[in-house]
Amino acid sequence: MRARRSSYTGRMWTVKALSGDLAAGRTTSRALVETALARIAEPSGEGARAFMKVYADSARADADHADRLRKARIVRSAVDGLPISVKDLFDVGGDVTRAGSKVLADAPPAPADAVAVARLRAAGAVIVGRSNMVEFAFGAVGTNPHYGTPKNPWDRKAGRVPGGSSSGAAVSVADGMNVMGLGTDTRGSIRQPAALCGIAGFKPTARRVSRQGAFPLSYTFDSVGPLASTIACCAAYDAVLAGEPDASLKEMPARGLRLLLPRSSAIEDLDVEVAKAFESALAALSRAGAVIEERKVPAFDRQAEYFRNGGFAASEAYAIHKRWAARFGEYDPRVAKRVTLGKDIAAWEHVELVLLREACMREIGELMAPFDAFLIPTTPCVAPTIAEAGASDEAYFRWNSRILRNTGLANFLDGCAATLPCHAPGDAPVGLMVCGVTMSDRHVLAAAHTVEGVLAGRN
């Protein structure tokens, strides 16, 4: 898989390779951080748009500390000494959490690290900076009119969208500015940019990773997870974030892997490039001995009900943002429009949505009992250009809806989902999503790792 993705930048890092180099003395954490900082600072690169703030001095100090510990034969985790970024909505002690917005630029500094950030620090991760994002995480396209929009690594001359809302996280990983970008996912904000930028990403079951210290979008849907170059990298960071001591994945041979292909709108109306890559991936898995069973899943055709008027996210976002109602004119107008959708959602509508979600979870839970995971394309499209997606409000919201069409299913189901690249070398990035039910996270990661291995060997 590294060969396939490196057709864009040739510089992406993996936990396995770097931890091996550190253990063998072939590199140091300080050297990795200096490389990361140099890539961020490249005048012709996307560092200035991918990052809201760079922590050069503290990153160097933390890297030196990691190197001293390693000389004393103290290694805190598999990710010890590796550079990472954190999405701008996470608290970093002593710094202002802007969440991609000008409105919070004058907020008081955070008194402490978010739980996710603290766990990463304890594992020895070196934070090189805060990554850019869609304002308040409310958007799938990846644009930010306040701080700029980092360009997708694919077809950079054309200037394609990175996907959102964890836009800077995806671009920073794809361009080798760090090993992992810490992101959040409410309706696909980890998986969409990962898929469109040609990397991997993982959305855990929402309650599995603490959201304390992360600026919220939806109390119901928000999830905290990694964007990285491979599923194995995502799994290493997921274990740290979830506070699980065992970061290993169980072996799941491809032969006999039980995979559901849900016959529904989730596999229809695909861009030509997406359909080609998805069908090729399914064929490769079948040849490897995976059992792929297609079943009709009408629950996946009812997204209009699940997300009507913005659903949970809109009503909860309005509750969060109403304190700044007098400043909505300072928001990205397209974000403000989505936030204000929640103002008129009635209590009875919210109750009905809760009941609908519970029924859907039961239905899919029963359907998934004999399967290891279900497979769908992460996004039904490849990345449009920034100009195309931003040409008008109508164009923006059309692209926003299309990009997030499939990913929101996992959030509504309170499930978990990994995305991994499934395109051929040199083609437009296409993501394959491997999804499971609530709290099946490590099983789904293991299945995704197997799928990744099969696809890596097909060329």
pLDDT at 258 over 60: yes
Percent of the chain with pLDDT over 70: 97
Concatenated DSSP letters of 320-345:
HHGGGGGGGGGS-HHHHHHHHGGGG-
The structure tokens listed for 242 are 């979830």
436: confidence class by pLDDT, cuts 50, 70, 90: very high
pLDDT at 10 over 70: no
- Gap between the Cα atoms of 370 and 442, Å rounded: 17
- Gap between the Cα atoms of 222 and 96, Å rounded: 21
What is the pLDDT at residue 2?
34
pLDDT at 272 over 50: yes
7: confidence class by pLDDT, cuts 50, 70, 90: very low
- Gap between the Cα atoms of 324 and 320, Å rounded: 9
Q: State how beta strands 83-87 and 180-185 pair.
A: parallel
The structure tokens listed for 416 are 């978990």
Domain at 2-301+353-456, CATH class = alpha beta
How many angstroms separate the first and last alpha carbons of the chain? Answer: 10
Query: Which helix (H) or strand (E) element contains residue 239?
Result: helix 231-242
Which amino acid is it at 48?
A
Cα Rg, the chain, nearest whole Å: 20
Which amino acid is it at 86?
V
pLDDT at 65 over 90: yes
Stretch 430-454: mean pLDDT, rounded? 98
What is the pLDDT at residue 458?
64
What is the pLDDT at residue 167?
98
Which amino acid is it at 409?
L
List own/partner pairs for 279-285 with CB under 8 A and 24 or more apart: 280/422, 280/424, 280/458, 281/375, 281/422, 281/432, 281/451, 281/455, 282/375, 284/454, 284/455, 284/458, 285/254, 285/257, 285/259, 285/451, 285/454
Concatenated DSSP letters of 283-323:
HHHHHTT-EEEEEE-GGGG-HHHHTGGGHHHHHHHHHHHGG
**Alpha helices (runs of H) in 369-440, residue ranges in sequence order:** 386-389, 393-403, 408-412
What angle do helix axes 15-24 and 231-242 make, rounded to 10 degrees? Answer: 80
**Angle value at C-alpha 457, between 202 and 18, nearest 5 degrees:** 55
Task: Check the CA dihedral 227-228-234-240 and report its sign.
Answer: negative
pLDDT at 431 over 80: yes
Please choose, from the candidates 16, 128, 116, 129, the residue with its C-alpha nearest in 3D space to the C-alpha of residue 63. 128
Please choose, from the candidates 188, 186, 145, 146, the residue with its C-alpha nearest in 3D space to the C-alpha of residue 163. 188
- Gap between the Cα atoms of 180 and 396, Å rounded: 28
149: confidence class by pLDDT, cuts 50, 70, 90: very high
Strand blocks (E) in 344-459: 373-377, 416-421, 431-436
Residues 411, 222: contact at Cβ < 8 Å? Answer: no
The structure tokens listed for 252 are 């799941």
**What dihedral do alpha carbons 88, 210, 108, 171 form, nearest 10°?**
0
What is the pLDDT at residue 247?
86
Q: State how beta strands 373-377 and 291-296 pair.
A: unpaired
Instruction: Give catalytic residues, as residue numbers.
Output: 87, 165, 189
Stretch 39-45: mean pLDDT, rounded? 97
pLDDT at 169 over 60: yes
pLDDT at 4 over 50: no
What is the pLDDT at residue 246?
86
- Gap between the Cα atoms of 47 and 168, Å rounded: 9
pLDDT digits (tens, 9 = 90+) for 86-101: 999 999 999 999 999 9
pLDDT at 192 over 80: yes
Stretch 419-423: mean pLDDT, rounded? 98
pLDDT at 1 over 70: no
pLDDT digits (tens, 9 = 90+) for 101-145: 999 999 999 999 999 999 999 999 999 999 999 999 999 999 999
pLDDT at 6 over 70: no
- Gap between the Cα atoms of 58 and 261, Å rounded: 47
Stretch 204-231: mean pLDDT, rounded? 98
Residues 139, 101: contact at Cβ < 8 Å? Answer: no
